[in-house]
Structure 1
Amino acid sequence: MFKSFSILWLLSASALADPVNTYLPVPSQAVGPPLNAAGYRVESYGKGAYMVTNNQYQAMFFVSDKGVIVVDAPPTIGYNLLYAIGNITDQPITHQVYSHSHTDHIGGSGILPSGVKRIAHYLTKVYLEDTPDANRPLPDEIFADAYTLTVGNQTLELKYEGHNHHPGNIFIYAPVQKVLILIDIIFPGWVPYSALGATENVAGYIKAHDQALAYDFDVIVTGHLTRSGNRKDVEISKAYVLDLEQTCTEAYQIAASPGNNISAQAIAAATLAVNPNNPYTALKAILTAMAEYCGNKTNGKFQDVIAGTDVYGFENAFKMTDSLRIELDAGGPFAVKGP
């Protein structure tokens, strides 16, 4: 049976004193292939397309007859990315594509050879200019909507579909191999990382699933965890996030009514009685109660389908709940008040 994972428990003294907790077993579909002795794995998708992973992060490279294109360079993979490429080809690395500006995905870019030409969305350059970092060199070429990168016999189609996880996060498509690269949206076999992958735009995050499914791909590389994905993984992720949106919207309607255990009015009154003149406590208590309601309900449906619902399920529900209040206009206890 699914167990509630109250935020009060997450912050309890016992949990903080003993950070090693026991979670649900990982479903077999979320377990990735083993790593080599050096701590990484290379997967070939044919016709010169390869993924490199440490079962936490993922990068891609494409070998052409005129050089190698690298997509991202996570610092935790580090020099193993160069070793992986060197074990496959003698061609030099000539180009790099940035999926977006976050350092956990491109913070190893500084180890690539000098002279590499880097391509990114213009918003990625804006963010990198605001936070100068030698490990994330500024892109040499930028684009607004779409860019086709051709190096020898390899072609990548880069497209900005709108704000989702982070401004500038792009779709990267290899049409010959039918490989789609979309970072920090889908987590194949797993629940999204905390707060829906630390997304900055929940509406765009949800929409990105349909945008991904519009591509003709056989493999999707998503930047994280134990394996690459396929169309079914995208559909499962879409089902999870839509169910979360639906149940959190339902929680808003329940919370707007009196006489139930997530009544916003009752929670606020009880909280403010203990914490007078502190509206933060009332808001947090209301959002926490709604997030626990929808998180438990959604995760109960998905805990045997994807891994990690008990690890980051509450944080995902809280993100959805708060976004419904400030971004998606769910109403409920936060609807426009009558005259």
Structure 2
Amino acid sequence: MVHSSRRTFLTQATAASALPLAVGLLGRGDARAAGALPDYAPIPEASKGPALNDKGYFVGRIDGDLYWVTDSSYQAMFLTTSQGVVLVDAPPTIGHNLLRAIEEVTRANGRPRKVTHLVYSHSHADHIGAASILGKDVIRIGHTETARFLRRDADPNRPAPTLTFDDHHVLRVGGESLELAHHGPNHSPDNIFVYAPKQETLMVVDVLYPGWVPFKNLAVSQNIPGWLRAHDIAMRYPWRTLVGGHLGRLGTRADGHLQQRYLADLQTSVRNTVAGLDPAPFFDKYGPAGNAWAIFDGYLNAVAQQAAAPVIADYLGTLAAADVFTKDNAFGLLESMRIDTGLLGPFGIHP
């Protein structure tokens, strides 16, 4: 049977298979540009997840009747009960493989295969953009703000929740339970914590990235102070297993502590760089022309690059992609520390 090109790409996404596609997209005149793509450090073995099956997904038991599914880029979690399946998130890259994974598990354990409840971690399409494949009868649960955002966005692939809450909600289905909690804005204004007490498992999305550095610009988070606090909140939960929503493996408490250290080291490096980097060259070069944006751009990028360098050196080989996103994460921290905490550097109170 011949699989679609999309499935082949997702299940065999290596540099060797992706490069011809990239060259084709660049066009013949720009094909040589593919040779200029940067090389990055190898991914540590400890950062890798389990191998995917021939359909492009992996499904495994977390504990008891709680399972997870991944395509090595995104993750979802589901709980099988005597009354049906409770699914947390529906990433579009996993898509219909969610239904295949659920069928595989429920067929093996003799539980009903129908998804009766869908919990939204937050409103972002990359995590719930396949919600529509579950049909109209599923009970959709999310934060009040999630409902507001989804009604505003009117995306048919992300129907708004039918059951909402503000602070806490305990979802009980078929003798199983999930504790849903909103601890304030972090990655997004509506991002929630989903805790399975019996299985000692926490799912919080776009906060902790087990084995990897956080995604670009601190996961493109809308509230950086809140996002940093979310790490502390997550570590106060008594979990043994973490579902982070991204990449190919589950997390441990050691992963959480390691990311906290990475961020603390990066913050220290940003502070030290702001204190020591001479801003004069940027003012001298661009000031006479009145190009304020060029001054900011040159200075902020220089701080981010200089602050990132020692952190990359320290975490390379320990956290995957330390050499990919640490500079961007340093920039995100710098901007938050500048406007949220008053670390203004050369843009402080004029003498």
After TM superposition, the score normalised by the length of structure 1 is 0.90
Is 2:9 the partner of 1:30? no
Alignment match of 1:70 (pick from 82, 87, 95): 87
Structure 1 contact 206–242 (Cα < 8 Å) conserved: no
Aligned to 2:167: 145
Aligned to 1:5: none
Q: Deviations over 1:157-180 (max 9, x none)?
A: 000111110110000000000010
Q: Distance in 2 between matches of 1:242 and 1:164?
A: 17
Is 2:279 the partner of 1:264? yes
The alpha-carbon deviation at position 197 of structure 1 amounts to: 0.9
Structure 1 contact 325–334 (Cα < 8 Å) conserved: no
Q: Distance in 1 between matches of 2:48 and 2:34?
A: 29
Q: 1:188 to 1:19 in 2, by over 3 A?
A: farther
Alignment match of 2:315 (pick from 296, 302, 305): 302
Q: Deviations over 1:213-233 (max 9, x none)?
A: 101111000010120101011
Aligned to 2:73: 56
Count of paired positions: 317
Aligned to 1:167: 189
Report the secondary structure of 1:24's partner residue: coil
Q: Distance in 1 between matches of 2:31 and 2:349?
A: 41
The alpha-carbon deviation at position 18 of structure 1 amounts to: 4.2
Aligned to 1:97: 119
Report the secondary structure of 1:37's partner residue: coil
Report the secondary structure of 1:75's partner residue: coil
Structure 1 contact 65–91 (Cα < 8 Å) conserved: no
Q: 1:19 to 1:93 in 2, by over 3 A?
A: farther
After TM superposition, the score normalised by the length of structure 2 is 0.87
The alpha-carbon deviation at position 17 of structure 1 amounts to: 5.7
The alpha-carbon deviation at position 272 of structure 1 amounts to: 3.3
Structure 1 contact 59–70 (Cα < 8 Å) conserved: yes
Alignment match of 2:229 (pick from 179, 191, 207): 207
Aligned to 1:245: 267
Report the secondary structure of 1:287's partner residue: helix
Alignment match of 2:202 (pick from 176, 180, 195): 180
Give the ranges of 4+ consecutive aligned residues of structure 1 lying more than 3 Å apart after TM superposition.
Answer: 13-20
Aligned to 1:10: none
Specify every segment of 5 or more residues in structure 1 that has no aligned partner in the other structure, as ranges.
1-12, 255-261
The alpha-carbon deviation at position 14 of structure 1 amounts to: 11
Is 2:289 the partner of 1:284? no
Provide the identity percentage: 38
Q: Distance in 1 between matches of 2:350 and 2:151?
A: 43
Is 2:135 the partner of 1:135? no
Alignment match of 1:113 (pick from 108, 112, 135): 135
Residue type of the partner of 1:296? A
Report the secondary structure of 2:287's partner residue: helix
Report the secondary structure of 1:42's partner residue: strand
Q: Deviations over 1:123-164 (max 9, x none)?
A: 111211221101000000111111110001110000011111
Higher helix share: 2
The alpha-carbon deviation at position 336 of structure 1 amounts to: 2.3
Q: Distance in 2 between matches of 1:277 and 1:45?
A: 58
Q: Deviations over 1:177-221 (max 9, x none)?
A: 001000001111001110011111111111111101101111000
Residue type of the partner of 1:179? T
Q: Distance in 1 between matches of 2:96 and 2:232?
A: 35
Report the secondary structure of 2:326's partner residue: helix
Report the secondary structure of 1:63's partner residue: strand
Q: Distance in 2 between matches of 1:325 and 1:190?
A: 26
Report the secondary structure of 2:333's partner residue: helix
Q: Distance in 1 between matches of 2:91 and 2:158?
A: 10
Q: Distance in 1 between matches of 2:306 and 2:316?
A: 15
* RMSD of equivalent CA atoms: 1.7
Residue type of the partner of 2:245? G
Q: Distance in 1 between matches of 2:254 and 2:286?
A: 44
The alpha-carbon deviation at position 87 of structure 1 amounts to: 1.4
